[in-house]
Structure 1
Amino acid sequence: MKRGVVASDSRPRGPASANPAANPAAKIARPRGGRPTKQAAEELGQRILDTAARLFSSQGFAATTMEQVAAECGAGKDTIYRRYPSKAALFTALMDQLRTRVMAEIDAAMGVDGAPLERLRTYARTLLSINMRPELLALNRVALAEAVPAGGVGTPTAAEDPFMVRFADLVRSAQSKGLVVAGDSLFIADQLLYATSIKPMIRAMLGDSQFTDLASQDLYFGQAWDLAMAGIVRKPNLSSSDH
Structure 2
Amino acid sequence: MSGKPTKRGLGRPTKSEAKALDAHVLDEALALFGSAGFAAVSVESIALRCGVGKNTIYRRYPDKEALFKAAVDREITRLNELGQELSQHVSDPLEAIRLTVQQMSKVLHEPQVIQMMRLLVAEGHRFPHLAEDMDRWLTALFKRLDALIEDATASGRMPKRPVKAVREALFTLFAAPSLNRLILDDQSLNISDAEFDLRWNLFVGGAAASMDPS
CA distance in 2 between partners of 1:153 and 1:189 (Å): 30
CA contact 1:141–1:205 (8 Å) conserved in 2: yes
State the AA in 1 paired with 2:116.
L
Q: 1:168 aligned to 2:143?
A: yes
When normalised by structure 1's length, the TM-score is: 0.61
1:125 is displaced (CA, Å) by: 2.3
Q: Which runs of 5+ in 2 are unaligned?
A: none
Q: Describe how 1:33-112 pairs up with structure 2 within 5 A.
A: 37-102=14-79, 106=83, 112=89
Partner of 1:211: 189
Distance 1:59 1:218, change over 3 A: farther
CA distance in 2 between partners of 1:150 and 1:93 (Å): 14
When normalised by structure 2's length, the TM-score is: 0.67
Which fold has the larger relative contact order, with Cα–Cα distance below 8 Å and residues 6 or more apart in sequence?
Answer: 1
| C-alpha RMSD over aligned residues | 4.1
CA distance in 2 between partners of 1:167 and 1:211 (Å): 23
CA distance in 1 between partners of 2:90 and 2:169 (Å): 21
State the AA in 2 paired with 1:175.
E
CA contact 1:91–1:153 (8 Å) conserved in 2: no
Distance 1:133 1:39, change over 3 A: closer
1:94 is displaced (CA, Å) by: 1.9
Greater shift in the superposed pair: 39-48 or 167-176: 167-176
State the AA in 1 paired with 2:181.
A
Once the two structures are superposed, residues 192-216 of structure 1 have per-residue CA deviations (whole angstroms, 9 ceiling, x without a partner) of 5642344212221222566335245
- The equivalent position to 1:124 in structure 2, one of 101, 118, 132, is 101
The structure with the largest alpha-carbon Rg is: 1
> Where is the helix percentage greater, Structure 1 or Structure 2?
2
Q: Which runs of 5+ in 1 are unaligned?
A: 1-8, 14-18
State the AA in 1 paired with 2:49.
E
CA contact 1:131–1:201 (8 Å) conserved in 2: yes
- 1:46 is paired with a residue of what secondary structure? helix
Partner of 1:30: 11
Q: Describe how 1:179-198 pairs up with structure 2 within 5 A.
A: 179=155, 191=168, 194-198=171-175
- 1:54 is paired with a residue of what secondary structure? helix
1:168 is displaced (CA, Å) by: 1.9
Distance 1:148 1:40, change over 3 A: same
- 2:124 is paired with a residue of what secondary structure? helix
Partner of 2:132: 156
State the AA in 1 paired with 2:140.
V
CA contact 2:29–2:71 (8 Å) conserved in 1: yes
Identity percentage of aligned residues: 26
